[in-house]
Amino acid sequence: PNQPPVVFHWFPFIGSTVSYGMEPYEFFNKCQKQYGDVFTFVLLGRRMTVTLGPKGNEFVFNGKHADLCAEEAYTHLTTPVFGEGVVYDCPNHMLMEQKKFMKFGLTTETFKQYVPLIKDEILSFFANSPYFKGDAGRVPLSTAVPQLVLFTASRSLQGKQVRQALTTTHAALFHDLDMGFTPVNFMFPWLPLPHNAKRDKAQRAMAKLYMDIIAKRKAGEEKEQEIDMIWNLMNRNYKDGRPLSDRDIAHCMIALLMAGQHTSMATTTWTLLHLAAKPEIQQALYDEQVRVFGKDLAPLSYEKLSELSLVNNTIKEILRIHPPLHSLIRKVKSPLHVPNTDYVIPSSHFVMAAPGVSAMDEQYFKNAKDFDPFRWIGHEKDEDNAEKFDFGFGLVSKGTASPYLPFGAGRHRCIGEQFANVQLGTIISTFIREFEFSLPPGQKEVPPVDYNSMVALATAPAMVHWKRRQH
Ligand code: HEM
């Protein structure tokens, strides 16, 4: 049997590391032209087989756990940050259970409670941030949005105490932990870099924050006020009857914090930038607010968010053009035949899905480069849909051969899609109600992507000019 073609390179260990690292999509597109949908490249000595297109997405996302393993691909990066015993530092069946536990805390009931909390956080951010003083100004999104996303996610999902700690006692610790979540740690997590020593110290301190909250709650020192994710996880048991340990809960909470922070902040930033470039879409979004909430703009609520189809289509379109995660990776566990080819991938390789490539392919999306939320009208239900998935055991997923999978598919599919929609929908709606905004004078295009980060971020400072909307 044949192996997939290997991308030409000059130096054995370095391989294609530089061109992939700097411009992953340019690299994928060039290789696709030259070698087809399936090819292997060398990334710091490792052999990565990329499988592109809807079938390629399905091949990676729907692989059996015995054949394709995520934990071996990700644990070096995630375990020092999240902590031990959860996610990719435990057997896969335990991750499946942990995801199910987390899903219990991501229900309609909790979302109803979250929307007003998130909205209040945004309004207090506007009131207190130096970037939003007066009637007009400018804001570097690369500084402001990470804070806004952190405050809104922590106030809702993480609970009041974590929210408070993140602006006071634990603000610097969160920063140190976050600095450990960088692409260089994919390959060299053990490097004795100063940021890794800080990361390890911060991980322990953040875990202690959660464990202290749990201990207080167990001691009955805190009455159950708001149902947050910590309460939820404290009430779950593994299939064998064991509850999650306090440490497991702490580490799951850190994993949730990190998973949601980077993806949501990239998406929020790109949304505001593209809207800044298209005032006519801002106007349409404002008109939608008036249509759904009335002239006096009644308060946002979870029920009404789902009626904001332009808001939801805007999020969908941003995730098509800027999916935060460009490469999803698995370790190959036994030689694998690629369907409809005569290629067999040896077990020494990794496989990589890059659904962002098919999402920008003219074959599936006309004028793929254009930001056009209206293209989704009438196609709202087309894409892979979280409701179809059962995060229980023996999970089998259907419909993964899609060109559009910003949340992945199969057993590792994202559990945060609905929460992200609630958070982003509330942020977009609140921005649109309060401001009109534009790119800096003379700037026509949104800034280029910075791939030097965990997610596909906008190059700093990602400046946007704003003025208060006249109602
Ligand atoms: C998994 C994207 C927000 C928690 C994933 C995966 C993708 C993704 C592509 C699949 C990874 C893989 O197959 O290797 C996104 C995007 C988001 C987002 C685009 C926002 C716009 C969130 C949020 C949370 C979250 C807010 C938490 C509340 C998770 C978890 C997994 C996951 C727990 C499972 C990992 C696994 O099973 O291996 N996400 N995510 N995500 N995401 Fe998200």
pLDDT of residue 393: 26
Query: Is ligand 1 within 6 A of the CB of residue 83?
Result: no
Rg (CA), the chain: 22
Query: Is ligand 1 within 6 A of the CB of residue 263?
Result: yes
- Which residue's CA is the nearest one to ligand 1's atom 14? 328
Query: Is ligand 1 within 6 A of the CB of residue 466?
Result: no
Give the residue from 199, 115, 217, 35 showing the smallest Cα distance to 426: 115
User: Any idea how long the chain is?
Assistant: 471
Residue 237 phi/psi, 5-degree rounding, is: -125, 145
Query: Is ligand 1 within 6 A of the CB of residue 322?
Result: no
Give the residue from 42, 95, 6 showing the smallest Cα distance to 412: 95
Contact 264, 149 (CB under 8 A): yes
Query: Is ligand 1 within 6 A of the CB of residue 420?
Result: yes
Separation of CA 252 and ligand 1 centre (Å): 13
What is the Cα–Cα distance from 391 to 92, expressed in whole angstroms? 12
pLDDT of residue 453: 83
For tokens 């929020």, the residue is: 268
Burial of residue 337 (CB within 10 Å: 0-12, 13-18, 19+) is exposed
Which residues, including other chains, have CB under 8 Å from residue 167's CB and lie 6 or more apart?
Answer: 151
What spatial distance separates the first Cα and last Cα of the chain, rounded to whole Å? 68
Separation of CA 230 and ligand 1 centre (Å): 19
Which residues, including other chains, have CB under 8 Å from residue 76's CB and lie 6 or more apart?
Answer: 185, 186, 187, 189
Separation of CA 366 and ligand 1 centre (Å): 27
- Which residue's CA is the nearest one to ligand 1's atom 41? 416
Separation of CA 260 and ligand 1 centre (Å): 7
Query: Is ligand 1 within 6 A of the CB of residue 415?
Result: yes
Query: Is ligand 1 within 6 A of the CB of residue 110?
Result: no
Burial of residue 348 (CB within 10 Å: 0-12, 13-18, 19+) is exposed
H or E element, residue 48? strand 46-51
pLDDT of residue 391: 30
Ordered DSSP codes for 187-207? H-TT---HHHHHHHHHHHHHH
Query: Is ligand 1 within 6 A of the CB of residue 406?
Result: yes
Q: Which of 65, 414, 421, 422 to mutate to test the pocket of ligand 1 (most atoms within 8 A of CB)?
A: 414
Separation of CA 324 and ligand 1 centre (Å): 10
Q: Which atom of ligand 1 is nearest to the CA of 419?
A: 26
C-alpha pair distances (Å), 316 with each of 283, 286, 409:
18, 18, 16
Q: Which of 263, 269, 404, 424 to mutate to test the pocket of ligand 1 (most atoms within 8 A of CB)?
A: 263
Contact 353, 56 (CB under 8 A): yes
Query: Is ligand 1 within 6 A of the CB of residue 325?
Result: yes
- Which residue's CA is the nearest one to ligand 1's atom 28? 416
DSSP letter at 403?
S
Contact 422, 302 (CB under 8 A): yes
User: 418 by DSSP, 3-state: which?
Assistant: helix
Query: Is ligand 1 within 6 A of the CB of residue 407?
Result: yes
Separation of CA 413 and ligand 1 centre (Å): 7
Give the residue from 288, 291, 323 showing the smallest Cα distance to 309: 288
Give the residue from 469, 468, 453, 467 showing the smallest Cα distance to 142: 453
Q: Which of 86, 232, 407, 421 to mutate to test the pocket of ligand 1 (most atoms within 8 A of CB)?
A: 407
Q: What is the mean pLDDT of each run of 10 residues along the chain (471 residues)?
A: 94 90 95 98 95 95 95 93 96 95 92 96 97 97 96 94 92 90 70 84 96 92 79 93 95 96 97 98 98 97 96 96 96 96 96 96 93 86 42 39 91 95 98 98 95 90 96 75
- Which residue's CA is the nearest one to ligand 1's atom 7? 407
Which residues, including other chains, have CB under 8 Å from residue 136's CB and lie 6 or more apart?
Answer: 465, 466, 467, 468
Query: Is ligand 1 within 6 A of the CB of residue 261?
Result: no
Query: Is ligand 1 within 6 A of the CB of residue 404?
Result: no
Query: Is ligand 1 within 6 A of the CB of residue 430?
Result: no
Q: Which atom of ligand 1 is nearest to the CA of 60?
A: 13
145-183 core/surface letters (b: 16 or more CB in 10 A; e: else):
bbbbbbbbbbbbbbbebbbebbeeebeebbebbbbbbbe
| Cα torsion 6, 8, 14, 18: sign | negative
Q: What is the largest CA-CA distance in the chain?
A: 68
Q: Which atom of ligand 1 is nearest to the CA of 96?
A: 37
- Which residue's CA is the nearest one to ligand 1's atom 2? 407
pTM over 0.90? The answer is yes
User: What tokens were used for 74?
Assistant: 């990700």
pLDDT of residue 268: 98
Query: Is ligand 1 within 6 A of the CB of residue 51?
Result: no
